[in-house]
Amino acid sequence: MSYPYQIRSIEEYQQAWRDSVTDPEGFWANIADHFYWRKKWDKVLDWNFRDPEIKWFQGAKLNITENCLDRHLGTLGNQPAIIWEPNDPEEHHRVITYRDLYNKVCQFANVLKNNGVKKGDRVCIYMGMIPELAIAVLACARIGAIHSVVFGGFSAQSIADRIQDAQCNVVITCDGAFRGAKDIPLKSVIDDALMACPSVKRVIVCTRTRTPVSMLKGRDVWWEDEIKKVETMGNPACPAEEMDAEDMLFILYTSGSTGKPKGVVHTCGGYMVYSNYTFVNTFQYQPREVYFCTADIGWITGHSYIVYGPLSAGATTLMFEGVPTYPDAGRFWDIVDKFRVNILYTAPTAIRSLMSFGLGPVNHKDLSSITKLGSVGEPINEEAWHWFKDHIGKGKAPIVDTWWQTETGGIMITPIAGITPEKPGFATLPLPGIQPILVDENGKEVEGNGVNGNLCIKFPWPGMLRTTYGDHERCRKTYFSTYDNLYFTGDGCTRDEDGYYRITGRVDDVLNVSGHRIGTAEVENAINMHHGVVESAVVGYPHDIKGQGIYAFVILEKQTHDQELTRKDILQTVSRIIGPIAKPDKIQFVSGVPKTRSGKIMRRILRKIAEGDAENLGDTSTLLDPGVVDDIKQGRL
């Protein structure tokens, strides 16, 4: 594969960016021309940010899997599409060529059809990081079913919420998943979730850990048995469903500052073009390079940069089942060494955690294959940036600090590897097609360089979300109502003297814990469900490894004799309601929380206390009961 739209110099970048602003439709049409469409578009773009209504490549017909699979068969059929490294380094890895992957996706697409799945149906996928997860995702796309992948760390309750919201009728899962020393009982979690999900008529269970599972007659079937059935039916191919460019491709749930997680909706045409364009350009992917993104497919990073971006580009994408510290903190480097990885894309939290083990696990590993490094998910601190640069990239490999969101579908602000001069801690410049703007509290544009503001985007791009599933008004309110005619990201941002962007973190009540997004309100609701809890307030605080930790202030109905036990009980409740990723790092029992006279919790004050900056609380004169603040300060953990 060659990429005629791959930028090759800083001048080309500047030219492309200017073109994308003066003629966005022409710019994206030129790129879209390099994909396989059953029918081309009638109109490139129709939009308004009021409703909002965003339509890219209207009238075009395609199937994204024909772009990820079929079109590569002639030239790349024997090239590895997916290299899979298991959790246990003693177990054999797998190499799946483009032809293998095509066959497996077709086969499983036929399984889905056999089980009554039709175009437009919603399918929940809850699996570990095995190739069958990518196969399940692509098989849904093949037949036009809308996938909703739920990360394996979420609880039964969280899965049930998501299944109900999307009214899924099929679930694809595994008996269990291996993650480090743990064995996670996925099917058993699904069984709990399904007690509250009457819409689900079929559960397809793939074997991985072979932990005992309950298989309900009439509802649950084994992946392997279903494959055998379609094998005996003859024709293994599965024609791709013809999709409209604006048909839904997938739903992915993400947390916000209020309420339950919302289902971010991405559509077929624009998402395909955008995930591919950003992959090819940001990482400067060259044919045959081995690319390793350490994310989980349960998050948007896995969707766009393990599955759709790389595969639509004919790349070799490495999928790793395990965790960075198992069996030891050298695992990533062993994988790089073993497969001669060229591009490594990971998260600051992983880098910081590996840094804490010192250089022992890095020394004597051959990392000479690495030519490009990437970071995503949260601001990368300078110390981690330099460690990554010096010890992993050996001072030579460029680092791309990629800023984007579940809602943006793909990378938005980032250096282009080896082309954009980098600056530690800065996501640097917008990709072509992206028009960032900083605004102040009143929505007034902050112009010039050396300024701060809230980060917004003023023009649509093909990968952006179209709606939040089942609730378009929520989409409008959350992203398009804070500022007129702008998409609001929820992030604060600096533009320095060179015009470089640095993302400073969320300005709403959303936490970023180890690169995972969690709403404070969500954690509070979970804590409040615990027996004996009257009220709680949750804030973030700086955490050496996780970036942000979760600090909970909890008011109990009555004094507890055993605070430690009560803490553990609350953690259990949060694990049950949301999942282990939302467990507070600190729980402080308090007699009250600071509130305004109108009853609103003053999080600003709690945040200061949690951060250990209790001497600078600012104006507390509007507090209902200033006395509680001293009590809280004294009890700080």
Residue nearest ligand WT7 (C-beta atom): 406
Q: What's the closest the beta carbon of residue 114 comes to ligand WT7, in angstroms?
A: 35
Q: E strands within 458-560?
A: 467-468, 487-495, 501-506, 510-513, 516-519, 533-543, 547-556
Rank residues 230 and 503 by Cβ distance to ligand WT7 and give the closer one. 503
Q: Which of 378, 104, 403, 337 shows the shortest CA–CA distance to 226?
A: 104
Distance of closest approach, residue 407 Cβ to ligand WT7, in angstroms: 7
Tell me how far, at minimum, the Cβ of 630 lies from ligand WT7, in Å.
Answer: 33
Nearer to ligand WT7, 98 or 271 (CB): 271
Least Å distance, CB 620 to ligand WT7, is: 28
Cβ of residue 334: shortest distance to ligand WT7, in angstroms? 25
For residue 310, the minimal CB distance to ligand WT7 (Å) is 15
Shortest Cβ 578–ligand WT7 spacing (Å): 15
b/e 136-161 (16+ beta carbons within 10 angstroms → b): bbbbbbbbbbbbbbbbbbbbbbbbbb
Residue type at 207? T
Estimate the share of the chain in helix, then strand, then coil, as percent rounded to the nearest 5. Answer: 30, 25, 45
269 contacts 249 by C-beta, under 8 angstroms: no
Kind and range of the H or E run holding 22: helix 10-22
Q: Which residues contact 456 (CB under 8 A, 6 or more apart)?
A: 436, 437, 438, 439, 483, 486, 487, 488, 489
C-beta of 403 vs 469, nearer to ligand WT7: 403
Q: How far is CA 269 from the centre of its chain?
A: 20
Give the distance, in angstroms, between the CA of residue 312 and the centroid of all CA atoms in the same chain: 19
Nearest distance in Å: CB 400, ligand WT7: 9
CB of 502 to ligand WT7, least distance (A): 8
Judged by beta carbon, residue 293 or residue 617, the one nearer ligand WT7 is 293
Q: With respect to ligand WT7, which residue has the nearer C-beta, 494 or 512?
A: 512
> Distance between CA 399 and CA 118 in Å, rounded?
42
Q: How far is the CB of 489 from ligand WT7 (least distance, A)?
A: 6
- Distance CA(372)–CA(382), nearest Å, equals 18
Shortest distance, position 22 Cβ to ligand WT7, whole Å: 28
Report the residue number, 96 or 373, with the smaller CB distance to ligand WT7. 373
Positions touching ligand WT7 (CB under 6 A) are: 254, 300-301, 376-379, 401-406, 427, 489-491, 503, 505-506, 512, 517
Cα distances (Å, whole numbers) of residue 227 to 222, 231, 304, 505: 9, 6, 27, 46
Please say whether the dihedral angle defined by the alpha carbons of residues 446, 448, 454 and 456, taken in this order, is positive or negative: positive
Tokens for 357, please give them.
Answer: 């083990």
Q: From CA 39, how far away is CA 28, in angstroms rounded?
A: 16
> Which CB, 325 or 405, lies closer to ligand WT7?
405
Nearer to ligand WT7, 269 or 348 (CB): 348
Q: Between residues 70 and 378, which has the closer beta carbon with respect to ligand WT7? A: 378
User: Nearer Cβ to ligand WT7, position 221 or 513?
Assistant: 513
Nearer to ligand WT7, 52 or 377 (CB): 377
Rounded distance, CA 214 to CA 209, Å? 14
* β-pair partners for 561: none
In angstroms, rounded to a whole number, what is the distance separating the alpha carbons of residues 226 and 572? Answer: 37
Report the distance separating Cα 234 and Cα 319, nearest Å. 31
